[in-house]
Structure 1
């Protein structure tokens, strides 16, 4: 497995670290290894309370103690841990995807195929996925219009954002797995995190500017 590295943390104290995960880094294996390398401690505790797909960049918070991990996980379960994303999708507002709204689907994860599929009803292995979105801008691209979208997750399912938009014929730019005609890094970024500090309870909010790689500069 190719070694991956992270830049300086966005925020760090004795309980948590907030970082800008680069695209191409796996959250479950490469990220903990990179943090242990950063700290110079191969045995350091790394608590993952949420994840990003390997091809997605942006904000993540990891716990540095088991108590902090448990406290953050409780916020995730309670819905008080807020995650916002920005993405570039194919097309503009239409009947399947109005300018603003909520997407609600049942998703089935096929682990052997490494894909997630929308299905009609709940059954074994199916979980409900919910997000809210707002289309901020639409502009012409080389192969048709592209839209910049702001997304707030209500649930955190594997490939959720990618599948929910692709199933409405608006795949994310660069996401060839789910139908994009464009080649490049997936245009999806974890742009904002809001949660309470696991030890002090202080409200914390972290935001990132749009990444410099295409197609975000179009906007």
Structure 2
């Protein structure tokens, strides 16, 4: 016999949904049969599976170790370890400054992603146990391209995941990015278009008119400064589509510096000697109106180096002081994870 006590992260869901996570390899017919035969009970009583679980409920499984092991499957959850740059954390959510080069979510090639690093961090910190991982998985709630740096929000608890999922879905959370783009931009603007993704190439195209299978996009931007050939831009992501900022700005002839997919090859080549191998795009500010919170993350060291090389550091620092309250000498975010 095995007994499980329902904790906060399992509470609120249907009993059969919980069992599907606990016995992930079992067909639904199996645990419904076990419920009918009282081989699985809830608080010592026969259950149907549609009960809503409450914190403190006792679940008993009168199954052999062999049967439980067979249907529980491989309960080992992937995890990885590195020093994460934590911007904010409470009991439900954590905001992480992701370095460029790190995946936001797991990929087929087995490369560790921020999800595995998050699980490793929470296990190491003691905020998560191996037993809890059997029925609850902390996860990130927004995705950044691999080579885009900046803030990613993750839910540590079920309540945290639900809250973040809601505000991302409803677009009530405001997301701001910093980037360096080709050309001179002097006025802020709010641009709209239609984005179509080619699944085979994982590349998108932007058009002014709707085409089949395209999605509406909106992007707001505000120039912070320019030197005639490069502009430091603050971008507000009003819709969150694949490669939206990169493709949308490229479509108006202001591609991101370093962008190998949507950028200007000749323009990018001028910066290869500075170590620029990917787009200089950084998710630097999140605003949550519901809680009155604003989170900020300074740009990575390479990004700041190019800002200074282009003599745009004054515009950058003015923006930091105005919007983030940072000292002028606190300009670099921590690239602390070895992702190679």
The interval holding the TM-score normalised by the smaller chain is 0.7 to 0.9
The 2-side partners of 1:4 and 1:136 are apart by: 37
Specify the structure having the higher radius of gyration (Cα): 2
Could you say which residue in structure 2 is the equivalent of 1:178? 262
Could you say which residue in structure 2 is the equivalent of 1:34? 117
Stretch of structure 1 that moved more, 19-28 or 5-14: 5-14
- Alpha-carbon deviation of 1:78? 2.5
The 2-side partners of 1:161 and 1:4 are apart by: 30
- Alpha-carbon deviation of 1:39? 2.2
Q: Tell me, yes or no, if structure 1 residue 134 matches structure 2 residue 222.
A: yes
2:286 to 176, 184, 193: 193
Q: Tell me, yes or no, if structure 1 residue 22 matches structure 2 residue 92.
A: no
- Alpha-carbon deviation of 1:67? 2.7
Q: Tell me, yes or no, if structure 1 residue 209 matches structure 2 residue 298.
A: yes
Answer yes or no: is the 8 Å Cα contact 1:187–1:216 preserved in 2.
no
Stretch of structure 1 that moved more, 70-79 or 26-35: 70-79
Answer yes or no: is the 8 Å Cα contact 1:106–1:119 preserved in 2.
yes
Partner of 2:86, secondary structure, is coil
Aligned pair in 2 of structure 1 residues 75, 112: CA closer, same or farther (>3 Å)? Answer: same
The 2-side partners of 1:87 and 1:107 are apart by: 20
Higher-helix-fraction structure: 2
The 1-side partners of 2:238 and 2:98 are apart by: 21
Partner of 1:67, secondary structure, is helix
Aligned pair in 2 of structure 1 residues 92, 4: CA closer, same or farther (>3 Å)? Answer: farther
Answer yes or no: is the 8 Å Cα contact 2:221–2:236 preserved in 1.
yes
Could you say which residue in structure 2 is the equivalent of 1:45? 137
Stretch of structure 1 that moved more, 126-135 or 61-70: 61-70
Structure 2 residue runs without a partner (length 5+)? 1-79, 107-112, 124-128, 313-340
The 2-side partners of 1:125 and 1:23 are apart by: 30
Answer yes or no: is the 8 Å Cα contact 1:210–1:216 preserved in 2.
no
Partner of 2:137, secondary structure, is coil
Partner of 1:53, secondary structure, is coil
Aligned pair in 2 of structure 1 residues 24, 64: CA closer, same or farther (>3 Å)? Answer: same
Answer yes or no: is the 8 Å Cα contact 2:85–2:98 preserved in 1.
no
Which of structures 1 and 2 has the larger relative contact order (alpha carbons within 8 angstroms, sep 6+)?
A: 1
**How many residue pairs get matched?**
205
Aligned pair in 2 of structure 1 residues 4, 108: CA closer, same or farther (>3 Å)? Answer: farther
The 2-side partners of 1:169 and 1:6 are apart by: 38
- Alpha-carbon deviation of 1:10? 1.4
- Alpha-carbon deviation of 1:109? 1.2
* Root-mean-square deviation (Å): 2.1
The 2-side partners of 1:48 and 1:121 are apart by: 33
Aligned pair in 2 of structure 1 residues 100, 4: CA closer, same or farther (>3 Å)? Answer: farther
1:77-115 residue CA offsets vs partner (Å, 9 max, x unmatched)? 33221101110000112xxxx621111110011121011
Partner of 1:178, secondary structure, is coil
The 2-side partners of 1:56 and 1:150 are apart by: 15
- Alpha-carbon deviation of 1:4? 7.8
Could you say which residue in structure 1 is the equivalent of 2:148? 56
1:75 to 167, 177, 182: 167
Answer yes or no: is the 8 Å Cα contact 1:87–1:172 preserved in 2.
yes
Answer yes or no: is the 8 Å Cα contact 2:87–2:97 preserved in 1.
yes
Scaled by the length of structure 2, the TM-score of the pair is 0.56
- Alpha-carbon deviation of 1:24? 0.6
Could you say which residue in structure 2 is the equivalent of 1:101? 189
Answer yes or no: is the 8 Å Cα contact 2:192–2:208 preserved in 1.
no
